[in-house]
Structure formats: C-alpha cells, structure tokens
C-alpha cells in the first residue's frame, strides 16, 4: 500500500505531547490511533488519485452494486487487484469493514464465517495454478455468495488467469472482463500526482514509447513514473522529459548494475566502500547523518580506524566526489546517476553475503540516530526490507524488528520496528509468512515488553485493515500474556467492538478456550464482550446475534463458567446489564433471561443471586413499576422451572 500511511508508537505518558521534529509518541493505553477502517479508506484515497479506470470498470461497478458480487477477469498486469479494492471503496460509507478473505491450504478453502455484516470483501484467486484447486474453490463460490447476500455484504473476486472459461453458468452472470487502460494515460496520471505539470511532459519521447510498447503492468508503470520523477529531481528540472525517460529506462534495464561492479574495482579502500554503501542506504539524507552512519558502519565491520591526524584526512567533499555523490543546497546527499543507489544496494547484498548481518545491525543502530528525519528513516527501513523480502532473507527483517523493539525508551527505534513489520505484512507474496510469525510471537510465554507493543500496533494498524479476524486472534494471545500494561487488551476491545461478526467469533473463541481451562483472563474477556446491547442489535440485513440458537448455547456455557470462576463482584455488573436489557428489550427478553438462568446450571446459590439482582433493580426503577414487578416474577418463574419447581 501507499507509503503515505503509517502508524505511531507509544512508549509512555511523559512522551504523549509532540514538542518538536520527529515521531509523535502515543501511549497505547490511551489510544490505539486511527480506526483500521479509516486507514483502509485513506489508502484507497491514495490509489483513487492515481487510478485510471480500465475498460469495463463502470460495468463491473454496476454489477457489484446491483448483485452484491462481481468476478473480475483480465490479463495479468491489468490492475485487477487494485481495481477490486477501488470497486469496494466506492461502496464505503464510513462504517463497513474491509476484509480480504484468504485461501486456506486445503478444502474448504474459503471461510465463510468471516463475512461480517455489510462487509466489503475481496477474494484474490489470481495466484491459483492448480486445476484441481480451482475446481474445488469454484464449487465453494455459490455458498460464499449466499453468505455475502445474507449479511448485506459486497464481494469482489479476482479470477485465476486463463481458467475462467470453466466458470459455471450460475456464476458467469457476475463475470466482467476488464481491459488495460492506455499506458501513456496511466503514466501521465502518476506524473500529475507527483506535481509535474502537463507542460513538461506533453511530448512523446522515444524512451517512453519503448517502455510502453512492452505492455508493462500497472505496477511497472508506477515504478517507471517514480524513476522519471527522481530523474527530474536529480537533474534539477533540467534536460527535459525525454532525458528523464531515457535515464529511467536505463535504470529499469539495469545499466547501473555494471557500473557499480566497475566502480568497486577502483574503490578498493574500506572507508570508500563504507561511504558508498551508507550513501546508497541513506540516499537523500543529510550529509552529517551519512557521515556519522558511515563511521558506525566502519566500526560495525571492525575496520581499522584512520590513525592520521584529523587535519590530514580527506574532507567530505573530496570523499563524496570519489563515489560520485553530491550534497545539494540543503546538505542532502545523492548520487549523480539515477538509480545508482539501488544498484549499489543490490550489488553489496548479492555479492557480499558476509555483510548481510552487519548491515542488518547497522540499520537497527542507524534508525535511532539523532538528526535522521522520519522520511529518511522510513526509506532506510524500506530499502533494507527490499533486500530481505526473499525466502532466504526474511528472518533478517524479523531480527531487525526484535533489535529495534528492545529499545523501548527510543520512539524512533520502536517506530522503525513497526515500519519493518509493515513492509513484510503488506507484501503480497510474503505477507502470510509475517502474519504467521506474529502469531508465533503472540503465543510466546514471555515476550519482551517493547516487542509486545510493536506487535499490538502492527495488528491494530496494519493487519486489521484487511485481515481483522487474524488481527483479533493475535491480539487475544497478546492480551492474555501482557503484564503491567493493557495495550493489547485496549486494541482488542476496539477491534471487536467495531464489528458485530467479530464479536460473535470472539465470544465463540472464548467459550471454547474456557472449556479447556487455559487462561483465567478469558472469563473476564467473556464478560466484557458479552455486552447485551450489540448482541440484541439487528443489522440491516441480519437478525440480532442473540436470535441464533447456536450462539445462545455458547453464551450459556460461557456464563456458566464465568459464574463458577469469577467472584460475584466481577460478574454482577454484566448480569445487571443483561437484566436491564431484558426490561428494555422486550423482543429479546426471553432469550436474555433464559440464557442467564440456564448458565446458573441449577445452582441454588447462583440463581438466588440472579433473583436478588433483579429484585434490587426493580426497587431502583422510577418508571414502569408494574413492568419491573413482572420481570421479577418472570425471573423467579424461570428459576423455579430450572430447579424443577413449577412451570416457566
């Protein structure tokens, strides 16, 4: 997603006021930041500004709005996934939950229970390559559509490539094939959004034509546009559009890679190579930061110190000239050649494997440097993540997260840990790996406090945007284990409280765990989430959750365990809410009272207390005394029936 979307961390009350440059520190116990639904909408707004509708996009929107479902077909690179989110975003009114339904590893592949009331659901099937898997998934799609319809939700399915000819007749009516938008128009849209006026790019240079004739994907066009913008910045707006496109195309064709190898044959001294690599990692940062980071890199690889007197050493201007880098008028250092910084990073990572771990440690130290601006810190994390996002190197990114999270008193390092996790979580190919790692971390018995806070923010502000169910599970594990803080608990309450379907799944999860007697805190969480108001509230297209007999059975079990394991003073408050709700919510009165009484399991002491609570509430009532008396009598009748005395 967009680099413009970020989260903040979080270390203590004394740092809650923003008094200067850098990160604002927020205490998670007081606020967990922006709601994930708003974050999703912010991300979609960024895409909308740069999105050029593909062919038949309007028709796809009409099918989605009228039928609740649309199946997007199209060739790879058409921008189907982005188009899917934009289609869903057009239906967002401020209260819906975005949810990407992920394929399981085996049948049933689709978990329909994750579809919430009014949810905006994406299912991306574009990566399916097995004919058998596609056939089995296709058999599950009608049931998914039914659940989506029942919950008043909307569903966009990105179809597998070259397999849609076998889409069943019952589903074919929802299929829309989108076609590529004009590549030049997409390029121009990206350039406009970066502030380059039309007057500077209204020509059709050969380099741009050579690039577009390759029929690049929408992502490749976005990357090319970014390089054009960078070429313009490097040239100081000189040279013109044709020159910028030539330089951008040269970078894409990896012409700079050969130059790095050639230059390193001449830059043989350790200090030169350290400055080269540090400049590449901190490209665009201030000269002072690059200088200090270079010294730290030399120390990290145990390079001998320069023993010459200070006045005899080469000045920074000379040293930067040696690596063909130049500070601008504001002291920000950049290489003279476009894309050279990326080529340097790739070269060192690929051809100097012994430097990978020292680079990781150096990045962890550098993000805490005073004077390193937030934008430069984020770029450093992103550049390191680009090298790590490979099956072989992902653990180095996780090590960076752990390293930065140890320094809980340093907001810069804590924020860097979150940003590193964000890079992994939002990667289409590797996101599943990082979600699994967060799950593994969340279940560790003893987890460092700093890492716990980082995981809470990553779950609430990153995972919950598209995968709220997975975020809920991980926050539950973290809430069980946190000591001395309530950050995970607060985030879990906010996440579950915003989605009725998540609340139901959380209650079911808690009851199941309570029966295993795993964690005492689960009884408290059950009481907290068993609030009668959302359980008796019907959605636009669905009945109130309490109307479901299966859920009532779960609640009976949960109440029974809570009655037994928690003191009267703890469960009384929620029991009072249920009885008040029974007084006010006549349509659900019987369900509320039956569930409470059944939870008492014929225990005279518990049932007597429920009767006393009801009687005391009736005495406090100032209106509808007759109705209060009726409720007292109704509860007593149900208690007597539960004890085998008379009829309910």
Examine the pLDDT at 88 and tell me if it is beyond 60: yes
pLDDT of the residue at 1: 37
CA quadruple 538, 543, 546, 549: dihedral, nearest 10: 180
Residue pLDDT, tens place only, 199-240: 888 888 999 999 999 999 999 999 999 999 989 888 776 788
How far apart are alpha carbons 647 and 546 in whole angstroms?
Answer: 24
Residue pLDDT, tens place only, 317-344: 889 999 999 999 899 999 988 899 999 9
- Token digits for 466? 């598209």
**DSSP states of 487-534:** HHHHHHHHHHHT-HHHHHHHHHHHHHHHHTT--THHHHHHHHH--HHH
Cis before 253 (ω within 30): no
pLDDT of the residue at 254: 76
In DSSP terms, 100 is beta-bridged to 122
Identify the CA nearest to 320 among candidates 286, 297, 348: 286
- Token digits for 126? 């574009």
CA distances (Å), origin 171, targets 139, 148, 149, 155, 632: 10, 14, 14, 13, 54
Any idea where the domains of the chain sit in the sequence?
A: 53-177, 183-252, 258-469, 499-642
How far apart are alpha carbons 622 and 456 in whole angstroms?
Answer: 44
pLDDT of the residue at 11: 39
Three-class SS state of 240: helix
pLDDT grade, residue 403 (50/70/90)?
A: very high
CB atoms within 10 A of CB 413: 23
In DSSP terms, 399 is beta-bridged to none
Examine the pLDDT at 449 and tell me if it is beyond 60: yes
Identify the CA nearest to 508 among candidates 536, 550, 469: 550
Higher local confidence (pLDDT), 433 or 252:
433
Residue pLDDT, tens place only, 4-55: 344 444 433 222 223 333 343 333 433 345 677 677 778 878 888 888 999 9
Mean pLDDT, range 556-576, rounded to an integer: 95
CATH code, 53-177:
3.40.50.300
pLDDT grade, residue 129 (50/70/90)?
A: confident
Residue pLDDT, tens place only, 300-318: 887 767 767 666 666 888 8
pLDDT of the residue at 222: 92
Examine the pLDDT at 3 and tell me if it is beyond 60: no
pTM: 0.87
Three-class SS state of 301: coil
Phi, psi of 88 (to 5 degrees): -65, -40
pLDDT of the residue at 624: 60
- Token digits for 338? 């476009």
Within 8 A by CB and 6+ apart from 109, the residues are 103, 133, 136, 137, 140
Express as a percent the part of the chain with pLDDT over 90. Answer: 63
């Amino acid at each position: 997603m967009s680099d413009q979307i970020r989260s903040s961390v979080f270390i203590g009350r004394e740092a809650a006021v923003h008094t200067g440059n850098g990160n604002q520190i927020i205490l998670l116990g007081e606020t967990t930041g922006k709601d994930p639904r708003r974050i999703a909408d912010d991300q979609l707004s960024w895409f909308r500004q740069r999105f050029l509708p593909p062919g038949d996009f309007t028709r796809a929107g009409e099918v989605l709005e009228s039928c609740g479902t649309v199946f997007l077909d199209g060739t790879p690179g058409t921008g189907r996934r982005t188009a899917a989110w934009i289609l869903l975003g057009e239906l967002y009114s401020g209260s819906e939950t975005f949810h990407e339904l992920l394929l399981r590893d085996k049948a049933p592949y689709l978990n329909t229970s994750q579809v919430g009331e009014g949810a905006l659901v994406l299912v991306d099937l574009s990566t399916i390559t097995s004919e058998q898997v596609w056939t089995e998934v296709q058999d599950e799609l009608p049931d998914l559509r039914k659940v989506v319809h029942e919950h008043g939700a909307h569903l966009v399915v990105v179809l597998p490539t070259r397999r849609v000819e076998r889409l069943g007749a019952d589903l074919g009516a929802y299929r829309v094939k989108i076609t590529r938008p004009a590549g030049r128009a997409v390029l121009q849209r990206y350039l406009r959004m970066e502030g380059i006026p039309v007057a500077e790019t209204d020509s059709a240079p050969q380099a741009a034509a050579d690039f577009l004739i390759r029929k690049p994907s929408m992502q490749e066009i976005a990357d090319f546009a970014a390089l054009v913008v960078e070429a313009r910045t490097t040239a100081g707006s000189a040279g013109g559009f044709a020159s910028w496109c030539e330089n951008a195309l040269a970078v894409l064709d990896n012409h700079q890679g050969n130059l790095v190898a050639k230059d390193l044959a001449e830059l043989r001294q350790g200090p030169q190579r350290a400055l080269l690599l540090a400049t590449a990692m901190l490209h665009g940062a201030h000269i002072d930061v690059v200088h200090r980071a270079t010294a730290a890199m030399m120390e990290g690889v145990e390079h001998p110190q320069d023993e010459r007197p200070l006045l005899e050493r080469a000045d920074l201007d000379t040293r930067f000239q040696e690596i063909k880098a130049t500070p601008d008028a504001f002291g920000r250092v950049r290489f003279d050649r476009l894309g050279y910084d990326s080529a340097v990073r790739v070269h060192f990572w690929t051809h100097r494997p012994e430097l990978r771990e020292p680079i990781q440690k150096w990045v962890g130290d550098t993000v805490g440097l005073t004077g390193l601006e937030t934008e430069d810190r984020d770029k450093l994390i992103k550049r390191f993540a680009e090298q790590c996002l490979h099956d072989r190197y992902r653990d180095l990114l996780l090590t960076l997260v752990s390293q930065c999270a140890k320094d809980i008193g340093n907001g810069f390092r804590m924020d860097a840990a979150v940003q590193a996790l964000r890079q992994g979580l939002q990667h289409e190919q590797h996101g599943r790996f990082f979600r699994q790692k967060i799950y593994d971390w969340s279940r560790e018995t003893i987890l460092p406090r700093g890492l716990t806070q980082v995981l809470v923010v990553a779950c609430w502000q990153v995972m919950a945007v598209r995968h709220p169910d997975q975020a809920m599970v991980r926050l539950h594990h973290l809430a069980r284990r946190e000591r001395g803080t309530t950050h995970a608990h607060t985030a879990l309450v906010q996440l579950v409280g915003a989605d009725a379907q998540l609340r139901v799944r959380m209650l079911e999860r808690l009851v199941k765990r309570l029966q295993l007697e795993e964690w005492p805190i689960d009884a408290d969480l059950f009481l907290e989430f068993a609030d009668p108001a959302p359980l008796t509230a019907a959605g636009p297209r669905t009945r109130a959750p309490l109307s479901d007999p299966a859920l009532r059975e779960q609640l009976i079990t949960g109440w029974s365990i809570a009655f037994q394991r928690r003191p009267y003073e703890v469960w009384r408050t929620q029991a009072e809410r249920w009885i008040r709700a029974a007084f006010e919510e006549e349509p659900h009165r019987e369900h509320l009272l039956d569930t409470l009484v059944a939870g008492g399991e014929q225990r005279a002491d518990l049932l007597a207390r429920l009767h006393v609570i009801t009687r005391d509430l009736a005495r406090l009532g100032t209106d509808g005394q007759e109705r209060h008396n009726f409720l007292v009598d109704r509860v007593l009748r149900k208690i007597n029936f539960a004890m085998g005395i008379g009829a309910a």
